[in-house]
A and B are shown apart, each in its own frame.
Chain A
Amino acid sequence: MLRSATVLLLLATTSCVARGDEVVELATEIDGLIRRRLAAENVTAAPVADDAEFLRRVFLDLGGRIPPSTRVRRFLADRDPDKRRKVVDELLDSSLYVVHFSNVWRKALLPETQADPQTRVLVPAFEAWLRQKLTDDTSYSEMVREIVTVPLAASRNPREIPGQADRPSPLAFYQAKQIKPENLAASTARTFLGIRIECAQCHDHPFDNWKQNEFWSFAAFFAGMERQGRGGFLAAIREVADRRKLKIPGTETSVGPVFLDGSRPLPTQTRGARQLLADWMITAENSYFAKAAVNRLWSQMFGIGLVDPPDDFTADNPPSHPKLLDLLASEFASHNFDVRHILRSIVASDAYQRTSRQTDPSQQKPRLFSRMAVKGLSPEQIFDSLAQATGYVPAAVGRTSTGPGALDSVRSEFVDLFGDDSSRPTQQRTTILQALALMNGGLVAEATSLDRSRTLTAVVEFPALGTGDRVEALFLAALGRRPGAKRLAALVAYVDAGGVTKDPAAALADVFWALLNSSEFLLNH
């Protein structure tokens, strides 16, 4: 039994190699490793999702919002066997991807902006910079190098506010860490290497090998940082380029920079300390760098990392699929740290494309990836999906309203309310306040108003449509799928009877309201 499975696997792999397609090849390898584990644990995998479920998922995961209903209709009608691959390519080349992943990276790199509202002024310039990098197709390693080595002299003028979208800069990484060497060391290790060394800041780490000395030696790469005067996060920053020693607080010991693997920069290396740190981090030999990155991408797509929590690589917290992690990391490094290559391959795998329905009682352990987990959406995804479904157009026109990510006060208020509770997407909870906002708040009220809603007005007023077509149009707009026959029949009866007010148009508004409040709309599945 096992042997025949292996043979099949080999056959599948061979046929794909023959096509010379790296994406399919990697996806097949991913599936091989995932299936091997499922077989070993006697778990039956759920079938691949239908077209509608798949399309909605990739739009949310890669583009940050649900698909427009016209795109859904086109996709469902398309007979091209390669259409899934093509829509993924289309999304990864679109501005939707750039805007969504700028948001994703910003939250990963500046987690402070999720926790402390005061740091939000740092977001526009940082996201603008990320959008620039993603548009230019800068590799991940170069992006990280630019962040770590950002020149600090630029912000010498204290009156200059380095938080504006028209001045793209990764400086916020330093500002959000309050320019403190210890914060920068902890964040750098955690964000780019998946290693939590901050416990060693005050004492030797109880479980891992990180000693207090090692922590501060790593922090010494940032020893030259100085904040100039007052001004909180936005104070001017200066760097004393040749300062390499850092005093461990509360002791008389000073330490010089040492990499986390114990090696030291050579005394002959005259480049800045941060340049040396970046050089060391992004080498292909530093496997933590690539592993941490692909694990983050995996976790972004599945809601659960191969190592989970995704930024905690320790002996205590082993990966669920070690070989898969190694494979993705080496592919990432050998493809010049190309994020889109990894995303394209993950999305092409059956593991990613499985339905979120539980189709077999054995599908209990989320870390085996036997079915797609249901994930919460980010506040931005919910807002942009609501906007997509309802035809919302921002009324408030901000100063920088021309570009993507433009100021929109309705959007930012909504994003604030929905916050992020920083729990994992598969554990994300709807709060009572969010439920109230969606049931009673202005945005959904507008969207379901017969006078003011674009989508609803179009559906209600379009001539020569039957009730069934109108209900279907609302389903496509909100859920990206057609209603099942039974549900459709019940809804047509409800609308034709006119609901509470005996008015079919109002009854359609009720249906749209319920769709926009449903968990199927508000979650990624």
Chain B
Amino acid sequence: MTPFSGMSRRQWLALAAAGAVTPPASGLFGRIAHATAASRRRRCILLWMSGGPSQIDTFDMKPGHANGGPFRPIATTVAGLRFSQHLPKLSRQAKHLAVLRSMATKEGDHQRATFKMRTGYLPQGPIHYPTLGSLFSKELSDGTSPLPDFVSVAPYRFLSPAAFGPGFLGPEFAPLIVGDTNPVAMGPGGVVDESRALRVRNLQQPEGIGTARVDARLKLLGQFEADFGAERPDVPVRSHRTAYRQAVKMMRSESVTAFDLDDEPAAIRDAYGRNGFGQGCLLARRLVERGVPFVEVSLNGADAQMQLGWDTHQNNFDTVKRLCSTLDSGWATLLEDLGSRGLLESTLVIWMGEFGRTPKINPNRGRDHFPNAWSTVLAGGGVRGGQAVGRTAADGTEVADRPITTGDLLATVCGALGIDAQKQNVSNVGRPIRLVDPRATVVEGVLG
């Protein structure tokens, strides 16, 4: 038997688990929680805002205060809940949104904050903490999808690459990454075509080589891998095996059509926004529809640049306005589309960056890093929408009610996804690590 044919995913996982990542039994309760999760089949979409978005210019406005800036609040479809004027489409989806206005997270450096928000932990010596997508897709997967369980669209990994990888869970839980190179792909006639950047290339077997011959080749490859890998337990060797297994599974499945955005009506594609983020949101919907449990879409810049787009130390208002336009179409259409397909109840959508921005406007019309009091948003599956949770002071500089830590947020996310937040994985140093910091508590009133 070769690694690439005839072996079930279960067998593969068993093999992988014989290596470094055997999940420990987490007791009866853990097993029940896991069973519940599987029966509820929850999925998660993370909208990641690279650079740290400004809360005061989006979801926690301070009209009338010097810190408020020039943007006006507008009414939403939920009485009393107001968003920025630059989020008009989203304001019509307000009943799905729980705005957490009292994030208090301490880390004000991109690298550390990104790591903390995306793994739940601070970088600590030799422990390789996994990113949320790896952690949660592992829990949410039922092992039947021919597509990878974790797809990441356009991640900007440069400053904190470890915050985007599977860490000690190993290569089996690494994301399929699309859209991170060639952000401005050219279609025929030199027209910019965002969906080309999101397409998975090289899915077809080489011309003239039939499936039987591909199988024969894979069998040879399996033998070479067995020879070489036997005495080399290194990550690059294991990951090679995993990537090939997943690639073969994917190229032989019908579900890969998820990546052909051209299948969608033009009106839908327009509604999401003809830009990398909008089309990424559309792709996310198509993927969760086909059973992919975790998809993340990064918004790195209004024009699909790869950068910390929300890091608005200068010229905050022009930049945030442009980013909001992209965000508004992509996110609002995603919620509407998921809703109309009956997927919103089972799909949690998270909106967050690594921190917020200073309430005080600096001399460059910018806002700087601010972890003390900022906002994240949960929407959809498992969440009681149409509310703001927590409160900041009138000037926005501190939390006035219900401070929420990174752990609290993630414990709440676990609750919405039906995952046992206290489940343990064995880390690369042999120590068991819980999904979420055990000191964290679920934010009250958020879960529906």
Residues of A within 8 A of B (CB): 111, 114-118, 199, 202-203, 249-250, 356-359, 373-376, 416-417, 419, 421-423, 425-437, 439-441, 444-445, 448, 484, 487, 490-491, 494, 499-501, 506, 510-511, 513-515, 517-520, 522-523, 525
Contacts A249-B362, A515-B224, A518-B225 known; A436 to B247 CB distance under 8 Å? yes
8 closest A-B pairs by CB: A115-B158, A514-B220, A374-B234, A435-B247, A429-B239, A519-B240, A430-B243, A436-B202
Q: How far is the CA of A441 from the CA of B368 in the complex (A)?
A: 45
Contacts A436-B203, A513-B217 known; A519 to B231 CB distance under 8 Å? no
For window 352-389 of B, CB contacts with A under 8 Å fall at: 362-364, 368-369
B-chain residues with CB within 8 Å of residue A517 when the two chains form the complex: 217, 221, 244
Q: What are 29 A-B residue pairs whose CB atoms fall within 8 Å in the complex?
A: A117-B182, A118-B305, A250-B368, A357-B231, A373-B234, A416-B181, A416-B182, A419-B180, A421-B161, A423-B161, A423-B165, A428-B235, A428-B239, A430-B171, A430-B243, A430-B244, A432-B247, A433-B176, A435-B246, A435-B247, A440-B203, A440-B251, A441-B201, A484-B227, A500-B215, A510-B216, A513-B217, A519-B225, A520-B228
Q: Does B213 contact A (CB under 8 A)?
A: yes
Residue contact B206 to A431, C-beta cutoff 8 Å: no
Contacts A437-B201, A500-B212 known; A250 to B362 CB distance under 8 Å? yes
B-chain residues with CB within 8 Å of residue A513 when the two chains form the complex: 217, 220-221
Residue contact A519 to B202, C-beta cutoff 8 Å: no
Q: How far is the CA of A373 from the CA of B235 in the complex (A)?
A: 10
Q: Separation in Å of the A225 CB from the closest CB of chain B?
A: 16
Residue contact B232 to A358, C-beta cutoff 8 Å: yes
Nearest to A522 among chain B residues (CB) is: B240
Q: Does B205 contact A (CB under 8 A)?
A: yes
Contacts A432-B148, A490-B223 known; A518 to B364 CB distance under 8 Å? no
Residue contact A437 to B182, C-beta cutoff 8 Å: no
B-chain residues with CB within 8 Å of residue A114 when the two chains form the complex: 158
Q: Does B339 contact A (CB under 8 A)?
A: no
Q: Separation in Å of the A86 CB from the closest CB of chain B?
A: 28
Residue contact A426 to B203, C-beta cutoff 8 Å: no
Nearest to B159 among chain A residues (CB) is: A115
B-chain residues with CB within 8 Å of residue A417 when the two chains form the complex: 181, 201
Give me 19 other A-B pairs in contact (C-beta within 8 A), A375-B236, A430-B236, A519-B237 excluded. Answer: A114-B158, A115-B157, A117-B306, A199-B109, A202-B108, A356-B232, A357-B231, A358-B231, A373-B234, A417-B181, A419-B180, A426-B234, A428-B236, A432-B247, A435-B240, A440-B206, A501-B213, A514-B224, A519-B225
Instruction: Please pick, from B183, B236, B247, the residue contacting A117 in the complex, using a CB distance under 8 A.
Output: B183
Q: Does B21 contact A (CB under 8 A)?
A: no
Q: How far is the CA of A448 from the CA of B214 in the complex (A)?
A: 13
Q: Does B81 contact A (CB under 8 A)?
A: no
Contact with A along B120-160 (1 / 0, CB 8 A): 00000000100000000000000000001000000011100
Instruction: Please pick, from B109, B202, B368, the residue contacting A437 in the complex, using a CB distance under 8 A.
Output: B202
B-chain residues with CB within 8 Å of residue A525 when the two chains form the complex: 232
Q: Does B162 contact A (CB under 8 A)?
A: yes
Contact with A along B187-231 (1 / 0, CB 8 A): 000000000000011111111001011111110110111011101
Q: Separation in Å of the A490 CB from the closest CB of chain B?
A: 7
Q: How far is the CA of A422 from the CA of B111 in the complex (A)?
A: 14
A-chain residues with CB within 8 Å of residue B214 when the two chains form the complex: 439
Q: How far is the CA of A199 from the CA of B123 in the complex (A)?
A: 15
Q: Separation in Å of the A119 CB from the closest CB of chain B?
A: 10
Contacts A117-B181, A358-B231 known; A376 to B247 CB distance under 8 Å? no
Contacts A116-B307, A199-B109, A440-B206 known; A427 to B235 CB distance under 8 Å? yes
Residues of B within 8 A of A (CB): 108-109, 128, 148, 156-158, 161-162, 165, 171, 174, 176-178, 180-183, 200-207, 210, 212-218, 220-221, 223-225, 227-229, 231-237, 239-244, 246-248, 250-251, 305-307, 313, 362-364, 368-369
Most buried by A among B200, B247, B305, B362: B247
A-chain residues with CB within 8 Å of residue B162 when the two chains form the complex: 423
Residue contact B224 to A429, C-beta cutoff 8 Å: no
B-chain residues with CB within 8 Å of residue A249 when the two chains form the complex: 313, 362-364
A-chain residues with CB within 8 Å of residue B363 when the two chains form the complex: 249-250
Most buried by A among B171, B203, B213, B233: B213
Main secondary structure of the interface of A (DSSP, over half): helix
Nearest to A499 among chain B residues (CB) is: B216
Nearest to A415 among chain B residues (CB) is: B181
Residue contact A441 to B202, C-beta cutoff 8 Å: yes
Q: Separation in Å of the A505 CB from the closest CB of chain B?
A: 13
Contacts A250-B368, A419-B180 known; A376 to B225 CB distance under 8 Å? no
Residue contact A429 to B243, C-beta cutoff 8 Å: yes
Q: Separation in Å of the B83 CB from the closest CB of chain A?
A: 28
Contacts A357-B231, A522-B240, A523-B237 known; A499 to B364 CB distance under 8 Å? no
Nearest to A374 among chain B residues (CB) is: B234
Instruction: Please pick, from B202, B213, B241, B305, the residue contacting A439 in the complex, using a CB distance under 8 A.
Output: B202
Nearest to B206 among chain A residues (CB) is: A445
Q: How far is the CA of A119 from the CA of B213 in the complex (A)?
A: 42
Residue contact B203 to A374, C-beta cutoff 8 Å: no
Q: How far is the CA of A428 from the CA of B162 in the complex (A)?
A: 11
Q: Separation in Å of the B410 CB from the closest CB of chain A?
A: 23
A-chain residues with CB within 8 Å of residue B234 when the two chains form the complex: 356, 373-374, 426
B-chain residues with CB within 8 Å of residue A433 when the two chains form the complex: 176-178, 200-202
Residue contact A116 to B369, C-beta cutoff 8 Å: no
Residue contact B176 to A432, C-beta cutoff 8 Å: yes
B-chain residues with CB within 8 Å of residue A427 when the two chains form the complex: 128, 165, 235-236
A-chain residues with CB within 8 Å of residue B174 when the two chains form the complex: 429, 431
Contacts A374-B236, A519-B228 known; A432 to B109 CB distance under 8 Å? no
Q: How far is the CA of A519 from the CA of B237 in the complex (A)?
A: 6
Q: How far is the CA of A423 from the CA of B157 in the complex (A)?
A: 9
Nearest to B306 among chain A residues (CB) is: A116
Contacts A118-B305, A249-B362, A519-B241 known; A440 to B205 CB distance under 8 Å? yes
Instruction: Please pick, from A117, A434, A444, A494, the residue contacting B220 in the complex, using a CB distance under 8 A.
Output: A494
Contacts A440-B205, A514-B220, A518-B228 known; A202 to B369 CB distance under 8 Å? yes
B-chain residues with CB within 8 Å of residue A520 when the two chains form the complex: 224, 227-228
Most buried by B among A250, A373, A435, A491: A435
Contacts A117-B181, A250-B362 known; A358 to B233 CB distance under 8 Å? yes
A-chain residues with CB within 8 Å of residue B205 when the two chains form the complex: 439-440
Q: How far is the CA of A434 from the CA of B201 in the complex (A)?
A: 10
Residue contact B247 to A439, C-beta cutoff 8 Å: yes
Contacts A249-B364, A500-B213 known; A432 to B228 CB distance under 8 Å? no
Q: How far is the CA of A375 from the CA of B227 in the complex (A)?
A: 18
B-chain residues with CB within 8 Å of residue A374 when the two chains form the complex: 232, 234, 236-237
Contacts A115-B306, A523-B237 known; A518 to B176 CB distance under 8 Å? no
B-chain residues with CB within 8 Å of residue A359 when the two chains form the complex: 231
Contacts A519-B237, A520-B224 known; A436 to B251 CB distance under 8 Å? yes
Instruction: Please pick, from A357, A429, A444, A490, the residue contacting B171 in the complex, using a CB distance under 8 A.
Output: A429
Q: How far is the CA of A212 from the CA of B216 in the complex (A)?
A: 62
